Amino acid sequence: MSSIVPITIREHLVPYFFKESEGDVFTYGNQKVKTALFSPDVSSIGKIIRMLMIKSGKPLKINNFNLCLKVSDDGNKKIYTGQFYKHESGRNSYLMLPEEANDDINDLLEDIFRMSFVSYMNGCIENNDEAVVVSAIDKWIDKYDLLEFGFSNDTFRQIFYREKKNGKIIARFQNKKSARILNFAS
């Protein structure tokens, strides 16, 4: 039987969801915190979390799941963390699910990240002009602080061309579980 863990998101996904999700941003010293709400009744991500909670025997009756994203800067490097939590009975506590459910949620978020990357790249290029591809990937990497995680232009070029070869951007949701993008870091 797997252990019950807080729902945390992969570190390299934090800057993407920090910038691309709606929510309130607060600054505390050297730390920026964003909280984004995901409705278990309306949001696709919220519905999946709700179903995983029911399946694992931990159903909740709450209005929203909250994603707390933190970016801290200790002067030498940035530290990224993201965890889902719930507000229930006047207090906040982290959502706890089996490790497999945490992995499933992260795989979904990874797929969203990759689909967004491929769509971004398709919008930037009309042909295989390598200079445009390199420039667009560099902008993506800069926008989401991905150098912090050891990614390179080569890493994302491999991902882009692999997805482009498939030709169907939604196919990822149909028949493959997303490998951790960290496996591609050089």
Q: Is residue 6 over pLDDT 60? A: yes
- Residue 172's pLDDT is 65
Q: Is residue 115 over pLDDT 50? A: yes
Going by pLDDT thresholds of 50, 70 and 90, the confidence category of residue 185 is very low
- C-alpha span between 71 and 78 (Å, rounded): 7
* pLDDT more than 70, % of the chain: 88
> What's this model's pTM, rounded to 2 decimal places?
0.85
Of the listed ranges 16-20, 24-28, 126-130, 163-167, the least confidently predicted one is 126-130
- Taking each helix axis from N to C end, the angle separating 153-166 and 130-143, rounded to the nearest 10 degrees, works out to 110
Residues 146, 12 contacting (CB under 8 angstroms): yes
Of the listed ranges 29-38, 75-84, 111-120, 170-179, the least confidently predicted one is 170-179
Which pair of tokens denotes residue 160?
């882009």
Using CB atoms within 10 A of its CB, is residue 40 exposed (0-12), middle (13-18) or buried (19+)?
Answer: buried
Q: Is residue 95 over pLDDT 60? A: yes
Beta strands in the chain (DSSP E): 4-6, 24-28, 31-38, 65-73, 78-88, 91-94, 96-98
**Domain ranges in the chain?**
4-98, 104-184
Amino acid making up residue 114: R
